[in-house]
Chains A and B, each alone.
Chain A
């Protein structure tokens, strides 16, 4: 109890410090606005919003100020995806795909304003729930992480890549794994972290420092959207008129258990390495469908369905930051972009992270969610108007944004070449239904995996038992093996025979 009180008091003073500082609002309000706009415009993602801002802030601004903008954009973008989902049946981000299932039917019934209002409230409470979990669990896990050494880190990084590949695949699971391997392979370029041996540099000195995260993220998330989006509809369609947006307090009270349950699911899924907000939304929607009293209404305009998806995807933000801060392993692609920003500022997340930074991040998350809530309730009509901007007009602007953002991070023109190359690769992968998130997670975690795996073997003089003898490592190794084996068709059918269940369609 004493621990919780100490945390809350530290958090309280940090929050108060931020609230009375006018600079906070100078960064926060435009960042949340930009985030919501990025989320609302289909094709632009939360990852892209955070990455572009990373390029703008670089390391020329104090990190605590840059974090206000980056976290503000992250929170805003995850929420902003709900606008086109509800009003146009086009998910603004992958995280809000499940929102469209019930949001759009509600809008068609003329309840678009009500749907936006309850979504805003659910997103707000969901973010606060995830933030509270972050505040509590991050310390517990930091204590645990003191005992996490190289073998556990290597296996956890591998687990993150495998899990991301497994859960993000739309077609065959091995495509997700191949995508993760491509990311890992990209991380191998440059000088190796232990012996400084040159790898795959092809006599190009730029490659000695390896692939930079920001151009890779910009290429992976911006270029395919530009190439794909310059074909689609000229405008996004007719936006329905909105009724009252602010929700009734009684309605919110009635839905609070669903919001909290979804927040719990979202935080849990978000905390899994490399998975993220979109999976959180779908899992929570699925759980909601099986447990809700109005489950037969799911897909036809259920408020519970809408809340299940939205509260979960916003709660996943807090969850995704837990492994990021504790282990340096991002819980989602936008968190990976945040990791890039931390690294640019020479902050290495992990057991040695400055506790004041964690408290600061939690306080910023709370302020960002309040800003998002107020903007969602009082300026929603502005975001609805933004939906009318044709893709063919805003995507070229995004191209300029990503070019200048990518250039400024450090590598100059070479980073632009890298961004273009990664963009072409990502577009080809999109065409063949390879998920991009595992590639990004692979690029981010590749260096960590390489270094910690070899360090483990160096400590044990090449004895592989170091991965079995340590309890934590043994559990993680088991999880990795289980994850791979569970996807092999023979074992899939065997498990169906043993545990029952129908064959998937």
Chain B
């Protein structure tokens, strides 16, 4: 099957999704006052000034284009192949690869960054990605994904509410332990295969130094906000910056 047919199969499903999404958002747009609606006895906008005017246009056009796309997809054989694995372009190894990356990124963004120290969370995520995907080793991918998922799930389950995000918790220690465990497993497994490669040797160094330098530059150089200021490592850095270091050059002025 050629790439064009695969594309048309995907277009077939995408157009159905777009039709559904357009209809849903057209329905949601009807909740916005459009034709001479009165709110609390006061005339709201006319149709030409209504907040619903442009959205109706956008989702109306999207609905029309989605039907055109559906027509093209059906004409070019997209519907005939729609339920075949080859038609969709399904590949098991690709599915595993993508699922692992999505899981790692999802747990990093939704689980770790809001709750865990940024340097520890980023070090763990980077180790998972570099070790898991550098040699496309499926075991490494799965071990990395399982490790970050465990640490993130612990943080998510134990400290789910937003009010708990910036408070210091044991989830920092769990994530740190997960990072150290993953690094140890990586070195152990790679050594069993033979001499450690340069990338394997550098992975822990890059994983720690890159987020550390970035967070330092961002917080104290660019003076920007950084995630989780009460995190295990950052809180110490911030304390020593203001209490130990800053007075050194402040006192000279």
Residues of A participating in the B interface, judged by any CB pair closer than 8 Å = 55-58, 60-61, 171-172, 174-175, 177-178, 181-182, 184-185, 188, 192, 194-195, 197, 199-200, 223, 226-227, 230-231, 234, 390, 392-393, 395-397, 399-401, 403-404, 407-408, 412-413, 416-417, 419-420, 423-424, 431-433, 449-450, 453-454, 457-458, 461-462
Contacts and interface: CB of A to CB of B under 8 A. Distances in A.
Contacts of A178: 18, 62, 65-66, 69
Name the prevailing secondary structure of the A interface residues.
helix
Contact of B46 (A55, A401, A462): A462
Contacts of B18: 178
B45 A392 contact: no
Contacts of A423: 105
A207 B202 CA distance: 41
B226 A404 contact: yes
Contacts of B193: none
B91 to A, nearest CB: 11
Interface stretch (B146-154, B216-224, B235-243): B216-224
A250 B114 CA distance: 59
B110 A231 contact: no
A57 B217 CA distance: 11
Given A230-B101, A413-B227, A433 B211 contact: no
Interface of B: 7, 10-11, 14, 18, 25, 28-29, 32-33, 44-51, 53-55, 58-59, 61-62, 65-66, 68-69, 72, 94, 97-98, 101-102, 105-106, 108-110, 113-114, 118, 122, 125-126, 129-130, 133-136, 165, 199, 202, 206-207, 210-211, 214-215, 217-218, 222-227
A172 B69 contact: yes
Contacts of B11: 172, 432
A171 B7 contact: yes
12 contacts: A174-B68, A178-B66, A181-B62, A185-B58, A185-B59, A226-B105, A393-B206, A396-B130, A403-B122, A404-B227, A449-B54, A454-B53
B49 A195 contact: yes
Contacts of A226: 101, 105
A58 B225 CA distance: 10
A227 B101 contact: yes
Nearest to A461: B48
Contacts of A177: 61, 65
Given A234-B134, A404-B226, A432 B165 contact: no
B62 A200 contact: no
A55 B227 CA distance: 13
B105 A454 contact: no
B7 A401 contact: no
A174 B225 contact: no
Given A227-B98, A227-B101, A231-B136, A432 B224 contact: no
B38 to A, nearest CB: 14
A454 B48 contact: yes
Contacts of B44: 195
A457 B49 contact: yes
Contacts of A200: 25, 28
B55 to A, nearest CB: 5
A448 B111 CA distance: 36
A176 to B, nearest CB: 10
B49 A454 contact: yes
A325 to B, nearest CB: 26
A200 B52 CA distance: 11
B97 A424 contact: no
Nearest to B54: A450
Contacts of B211: 400, 404
